[in-house]
């Protein structure tokens, strides 16, 4: 019995190591997207698992968009905006924070791990930080494995 458990665990690890997650990153135009651009022009490497969706402000990302993404193929979702106090629409990122709290509750309802969603602040000057956040998120989702909604 114990041997079967160990074998199953090893198989799961092997599967997760081969697993390449799909991650969506909603990036605000003014800071996060510019940070991604800087990472690119600076040739900073980060995993190719991330698909960037540019939005005008992180406060525009409705929680339903995040849930829809996670239930229709994405393994993880990032919402990235300007640092607090730097939002070009004054309070958009504060709204994003409130929405992130709502998203965390919704993830519970959908029996999804809270780590599949992450809210981050990245400025236009933080290309290395953008790449670091992407790398961390991909590693985190690889450990979790595919979204349970993928198979369904
Ligand atoms: Fe960047 Fe609002 S413009 S978070």
Domain boundaries, the chain: 21-144
Q: Is 120 helix (H, G, I), strand (E, B) or coil?
A: strand
Which residue has the CA at smallest separation from atom 4 of ligand 1? 81
Structural tokens at position 61: 């990302």
- Judge whether 72 and 63 are in contact, CB under 8 Å: no
- Determine the residue of 26, 27, 28 to mutate for testing ligand 1's pocket, defined as the one with the most ligand atoms within 8 A of the Cβ atom: 28
* 119 Cα to the center of ligand 1, angstroms: 12
Strand 76-81 to strand 117-121: parallel, antiparallel, or no bridges (unpaired)?
parallel
Q: How distant, in Å, are the alpha carbons of 11, 16, 79 from that of 2?
A: 14, 21, 41
- Determine the residue of 86, 99, 121 to mutate for testing ligand 1's pocket, defined as the one with the most ligand atoms within 8 A of the Cβ atom: 86
Q: Candidates 1.10.287, 1.10.3470, 3.90.220, 3.40.50; correct CATH number of 21-144? A: 3.40.50
Structural tokens at position 135: 């790398």
**Has this prediction a pTM greater than 0.85?**
yes
Determine which of 2-16, 53-67, 93-107, 134-148 has the lowest per-residue pLDDT on average.
2-16
CA–CA separation, 18 and 13 (whole Å):
9
Atom of ligand 1 nearest to the CA of 81: 4
Query: Could you report the per-residue pLDDT of 46-91, keeping only the tens digit for each?
Result: 999 999 999 999 999 999 999 999 999 999 999 999 999 999 999 9
The pLDDT mean for the chain works out to 91
């Amino acid at each position: 019995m114990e041997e079967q458990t160990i074998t199953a665990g090893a198989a799961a690890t092997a599967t997760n190591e081969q697993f390449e997650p799909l991650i969506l990153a909603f990036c605000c135009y003014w800071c996060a997207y510019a940070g991604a651009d800087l990472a690119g022009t600076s040739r900073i490497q980060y995993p190719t698992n991330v698909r960037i969706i540019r939005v005008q402000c992180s406060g525009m990302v409705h929680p339903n968009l995040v849930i829809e993404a996670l239930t229709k193929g994405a393994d993880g979702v990032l919402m990235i905006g300007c640092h607090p106090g730097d939002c070009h629409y004054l309070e958009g990122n504060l709204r994003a924070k409130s929405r992130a709290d709502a998203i965390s509750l919704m993830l519970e309802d959908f029996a999804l791990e809270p780590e599949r969603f992450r809210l981050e602040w990245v400025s236009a000057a933080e290309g290395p930080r953008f790449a670091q956040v992407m790398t961390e998120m991909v590693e985190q989702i690889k450990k979790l494995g595919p979204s349970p909604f993928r198979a369904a």
